[in-house]
C-alpha cells in the first residue's frame, strides 16, 4: 500500500525532485504511477533476468530467465515489443559471454541498505555486489539505455556516491568501487569509494529533503519533454496529440 514518508530519502527521490519538484509530488506524495514505456519495460525485464541469473548461479540459462521475466506491457505494438525483445536478447547473450570471464564473486543481488543520518533515513537497493578481493567490494548498478551516454563520469555520479556511502555505513565495506554497468554494450564505468565526497553527497540529500519537507513543489518545465507524466500533467509543456 502506498505510504508517503517525507523523512525517508533514496537516490530515485532526490533525482526526481531535481528533475521536477512537481513530478516528485505526483509520484511520491500522491502516489501516481508513471506507467511503463518500451525503454522502462525492457529495463525491468533485464533487471529481473539478471537477478535470477546470478541468484541461481546457473550460468547456462540466461535466455531461459529472459523468456520467463520478459514483460509484454509498455509497448505500442507487437512489432515494437518484438524489436525490444530481440535487443534485450542480444545484450543478455553478450552479458553472459562476458560474465563467463568474470574473476570476482557475486555475493548478492537486489540488496538493500538503510541508515539513519540526523533526522533522516537513507536507503537504497543495489543491483549487484561483487567481492573483488580480500575485503574489497564492487557495488554495481545496471543501466539498460539502448544508447549509453558517452560522457558519463562515475566519480560525478550522485547515485554511485550514495551507494558507496551506503556500502560503507551499512555493510562496513571500507574498500571498493562503485560501478554503472551499461548492459546494452556491456561496458562499465567505475570509481573508487574514496573518489566520493561523503559529506557533500549527504548534504545534497539533506538539502533536497529539506525542500521536500517545506513542500516546495514548483514544476520544472525544462524536464517536460522527457517526463513520463507529460500527457497527464496540467503543467506540461510537452503534451502529445493522441
Residues that bind ligand SF4 (CB under 6 A): 20, 22-23, 26, 219-221, 223-224, 227, 229-230, 233, 235-236
Q: Which is nearer to ligand SF4, 14 or 191 (CB)?
A: 14
| Smallest distance, ligand SF4 to C-beta of residue 22, A | 4
- Residue for grid cell 518484438: 82
Reduce the DSSP state of residue 183 to 3 states and report it.
coil
Q: Which is nearer to ligand SF4, 26 or 81 (CB)?
A: 26
Beta bridge partners of 126: 111
Q: Which is nearer to ligand SF4, 104 or 235 (CB)?
A: 235
| Smallest distance, ligand SF4 to C-beta of residue 84, A | 24
Question: Element (H or E) spanning 50, and its range?
Answer: helix 38-56
| Smallest distance, ligand SF4 to C-beta of residue 25, A | 8
Q: Which is nearer to ligand SF4, 209 or 219 (CB)?
A: 219
Q: Which is nearer to ligand SF4, 125 or 230 (CB)?
A: 230
| Smallest distance, ligand SF4 to C-beta of residue 125, A | 24
Whether the Cβ atoms of residue 65 and residue 53 lie closer than 8 Å to each other:
yes
State how far the Cα of 7 lies from the Cα of 222, in Å rounded to an integer: 27
| Smallest distance, ligand SF4 to C-beta of residue 21, A | 8
State how far the Cα of 53 lies from the Cα of 47, in Å rounded to an integer: 10
Please state, in angstroms and as integers, the Cα–Cα distance from residue 3 to each residue in 6, 8, 35, 111, 136, following that order: 10, 11, 18, 21, 36
State how far the Cα of 42 lies from the Cα of 229, in Å rounded to an integer: 19
Amino acid at each position: 500500500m502506498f505510504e508517503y514518508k517525507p523523512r525517508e530519502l533514496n537516490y530515485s527521490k532526490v533525482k526526481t525532485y531535481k528533475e521536477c519538484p512537481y513530478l516528485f509530488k505526483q509520484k511520491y506524495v500522491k502516489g501516481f504511477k508513471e506507467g511503463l514505456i518500451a525503454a522502462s519495460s525492457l529495463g525491468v525485464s533485464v533487471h529481473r533476468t539478471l537477478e535470477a541469473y546470478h541468484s541461481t548461479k546457473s550460468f547456462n540459462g540466461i535466455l531461459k530467465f529472459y523468456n520467463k521475466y520478459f514483460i509484454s506491457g509498455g509497448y505500442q505494438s507487437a512489432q515494437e515489443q518484438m524489436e525490444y525483445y530481440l535487443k534485450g536478447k542480444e545484450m543478455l547473450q553478450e552479458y553472459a559471454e562476458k560474465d563467463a570471464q568474470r574473476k570476482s564473486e557475486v555475493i548478492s543481488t537486489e540488496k538493500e541498505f538503510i541508515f539513519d543520518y540526523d533526522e533522516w533515513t537513507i536507503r537504497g537497493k543495489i543491483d549487484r555486489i561483487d567481492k573483488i578481493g580480500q575485503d574489497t567490494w564492487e557495488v554495481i548498478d545496471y543501466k539498460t539505455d539502448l544508447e549509453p551516454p558517452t560522457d558519463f563520469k562515475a566519480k560525478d555520479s550522485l547515485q554511485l556516491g550514495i551507494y558507496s556511502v551506503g556500502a560503507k555505513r551499512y555493510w562496513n565495506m571500507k574498500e571498493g568501487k562503485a560501478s554503472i554497468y551499461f548492459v546494452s554494450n556491456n561496458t562499465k564505468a567505475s570509481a573508487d569509494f574514496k573518489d566520493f565526497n561523503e559529506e557533500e553527497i549527504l548534504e545534497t540529500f539533506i538539502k533536497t529533503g529539506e525542500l521536500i519537507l517545506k513542500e516546495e513543489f514548483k514544476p520544472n518545465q525544462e524536464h517536460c519533454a522527457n517526463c513520463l507524466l507529460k500527457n497527464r500533467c496540467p503543467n506540461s509543456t510537452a503534451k502529445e496529440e493522441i
